[in-house]
Structure 1
Amino acid sequence: MDLEKRINVFVELGKFLGQFSTPNFTKNDAVLHNDLFFDGFKHQIKLAEEHNGWFTIENITFAFNNWANALTKSNITTWVSKYNFNVYKPKQVAIIMAGNIPLVGFHDFLAVLISGHEVMVKQSSNDKHLLPYLSKYLEYVEPSFKGKITFTEDKLNDFDAVIATGSDNTARYFEYYFRGKPSIIRKNRNSVAVLTGNETPEDFENLSEDIFRYYGLGCRNVSKLFVPKYYNFDGFFQGMYKWHPIIEQTKYANNYDYNKAVYLMSEFDMLENGFLMIKEDKSYASPIATVFYEYYDSLEQLQDRLQAETDKIQCVVSKDIIEQSVGFGQTQNPQLWDYADNVDTIAFLLKI
């Protein structure tokens, strides 16, 4: 199967996912094989919701909308145009996926198949319903994909390279276990926002999307703020208010109550508004319903620090004051060429 065919298959998948980009699914009769797959995918979405309390219909459809927007002919062609796809003998690439947000491992899956390789997927038990069904759709659109996509719950065997995502602890295991294979091993990362005091109400509302989408469970969620000395958080809290219904979600509320109790019993200083707490802390990874903050003396010093600690950071959000930062509200809308951990997955796959 040539590259053009592979591109076209994923374009069709993007059209299929576009029907599920809002909680009110809209069937499009022009989508290929819809009579076979539309109702079945609705059922898989229901199973995903029931299996994982963090996978609300709003978050699932948000993920689908992002992928529907990304998987256009123009986007995919732009993405792959910089590479020389010369895979004459496909390799078997294993992917160990996280399960923190819906379809979190899809980019790796896409990269392996668009490169011309075969994929062996080991999913997280938290996110096991959506991708296998979408894979069946791909195989139906393009029968040449049959036999090139495998899902397993067993120990990985007979693979040529691996892409594994996990915590810092599991990454050490991955590095040891896969030491004889070409690999990309992903560890914990978090995203930060740099504020100056010149933000507008719209900036803060956009930032709230970076903080609260997926309940803050993604590596692209902002979990820490850098602010100047004597920063006034009133505008920040006002911008967060649009997300106040989040406290009605039981799992989120339980985490909020638990973390608040811990902070109060430990006599930590923190500010809160009934659904979000902010606490001064040097760590990057904050608990659910909490955002850490830290003061900076100068933007130049902060720029140097963020550069030195880039291995801990997925995204930096700012209003064009930090190099290579993204705008407020944009962390959960990456392009196909925005690679996790800044590791070019396609380049890796074309060298194995």
Structure 2
Amino acid sequence: MAHSNLTITAFVKLGNFLRTFCELIDKNTISDHLNDKWVSSFKSEIERAHHYNGWFTDENCTHAFKEWGKVLSKENIEAWLSNYDLSTNNEKVVALILAGNIPLVGFHDLLCVLITGNKALVKLSSNDQKLIPLLIDFLIDIEPSLKDKVIFTKEKLDHYDAVIATGSNNTARYFEYYFGKKPNIIRKNRNSVAVLSGKESQEELTALGEDIFRYFGLGCRSVSKIYLPKEYNIDTFFKAMFPYNNIINHHKYANNYDYNKAVYLMSEFKILDNGFLILKEEESFGSPIASLFYEYYEDESTLKEKLKDNKENLQCIISSGFVEDEISFGNTQKPMLNDYADGIDTIAFLLNTSKN
């Protein structure tokens, strides 16, 4: 338990640093603090991130750091862990295959493994090779005992007791074949949807834009489809999205917008378009980048049943007073520590898995 307390303290200090670091960025005073090695390192890594991955803009990397800074407080961590008995853990090696679609997307898994007193054997995504190792370096600097707890590898995974792997529906089949004999959590594609009632305020709709455009819509928590009541005035929605129009100035996003628009037009699909977002009426959930699917509904109870039937395909439902576990507009990319991917409690999984 002593080690657990040291690990918690290290994560709390990381949270303190991230909050301070993001405040310096917000106040534009970071250049006055570059003699601090960690401020300098984090600033350099943010600046370099988009050279390795064009989607990892300064703004999106800073947003990821800011959200982690908010949740990694002593109060939040203790409240989260109060639901578990960490003393029951048997130390084991947990292989982590991380996604890299948005900055730091795999950090929650790493946090869960370390804070329960286990070791992490980590295979990073080629899309996010730099940011997570930076956070681990910071933690090891605070708490040197963590040095033996994290191994990054590019080799074939070997000598582990459990696996947490995140990927697409295709890679999930591969994961199940290779890791099925070990205790595992294998995550597949999921999407998030928003349900509009037509009674939303302008502020709520504009906040929904954050759920659609943050990280260019690349996250499983990003809204890729909206449900609209019959006779909904789509101009109301487009007007609320206007503050996000600068997104079209990002070249990778613009390329996707141009490509998808051309494909839709050549296929003679009926689309709605505001110059930076394409709306297409479609039953499926996963819209391409720069596109948003929409579907009309007439009956709320039928839609609730439909969403319930598709629970396995959905990460978040964004609405106001529509379903029990809904997320309010603008908050999909602000998950709390107990917001587990796919609704699978990672801490419980780790505590209930024995060392082989």
TM-score bin, normalised by smaller chain: over 0.9
Is residue 2:10 matched to residue 1:9? yes
> What is residue 48 of structure 2 aligned with on the other side?
47
> What is residue 194 of structure 1 aligned with on the other side?
195
Q: Any idea what SS the aligned residue of 1:208 has?
A: helix
Deviations 1:215-264 (CA, angstroms, capped at 9, x unpaired): 00000010001112222111100110000000000000000000000111
- Which ranges of 4 or more aligned residues in structure 1 deviate by more than 3 Å? 22-29
- Offset at residue 9 of structure 1 (A): 0.7
- Offset at residue 45 of structure 1 (A): 1.9
Within 1, Cα distance between the matches of 2:36 and 2:21? 15
Kindly tell me: are residues 146 and 17 of structure 1, through their superposed partners in 2, closer, same or farther at Cα, counting changes over 3 Å?
Answer: same
> What is residue 70 of structure 1 aligned with on the other side?
71
> What is residue 178 of structure 2 aligned with on the other side?
177
Within 1, Cα distance between the matches of 2:350 and 2:333? 25
- Offset at residue 158 of structure 1 (A): 0.6
- Offset at residue 305 of structure 1 (A): 1.1
Assess if the C-alpha contact under 8 Å between 1:87 and 1:115 holds in 2: no
Gaps of 5+ in 1: none
Between 1:236-245 and 1:81-90, the stretch displaced more is: 81-90
Match of 1:110, as an amino acid?
L
> What is residue 328 of structure 2 aligned with on the other side?
327
- Offset at residue 191 of structure 1 (A): 0.3
Match of 2:40, as an amino acid?
D
TM-score by length of 2: 0.95
- Paired-residue identity, %: 55
Match of 1:167, as an amino acid?
S
Within 2, Cα distance between the matches of 1:229 and 1:110? 44
Match of 2:210, as an amino acid?
E
Structure having the larger proportion of residues in helix: 2
> What is residue 103 of structure 1 aligned with on the other side?
104
Assess if the C-alpha contact under 8 Å between 1:208 and 1:329 holds in 2: yes
Aligned residues: 349
Q: Any idea what SS the aligned residue of 2:121 has?
A: strand
Q: Any idea what SS the aligned residue of 1:86 has?
A: helix
- Offset at residue 41 of structure 1 (A): 2.4
Instruction: Quote the RMSD (CA, aligned, Å).
Output: 1.7
Within 2, Cα distance between the matches of 1:63 and 1:114? 20
Within 2, Cα distance between the matches of 1:304 and 1:273? 32
> What is residue 338 of structure 1 aligned with on the other side?
339
TM-score by length of 1: 0.96
Match of 1:235, as an amino acid?
T
> What is residue 276 of structure 1 aligned with on the other side?
277
Match of 1:206, as an amino acid?
A
Deviations 1:153-172 (CA, angstroms, capped at 9, x unpaired): 11111111010000000001
- Offset at residue 35 of structure 1 (A): 3.3
> What is residue 220 of structure 1 aligned with on the other side?
221
Is residue 2:266 matched to residue 1:260? no
- 1:133-144 pair list within 5 angstroms: 133-144=134-145
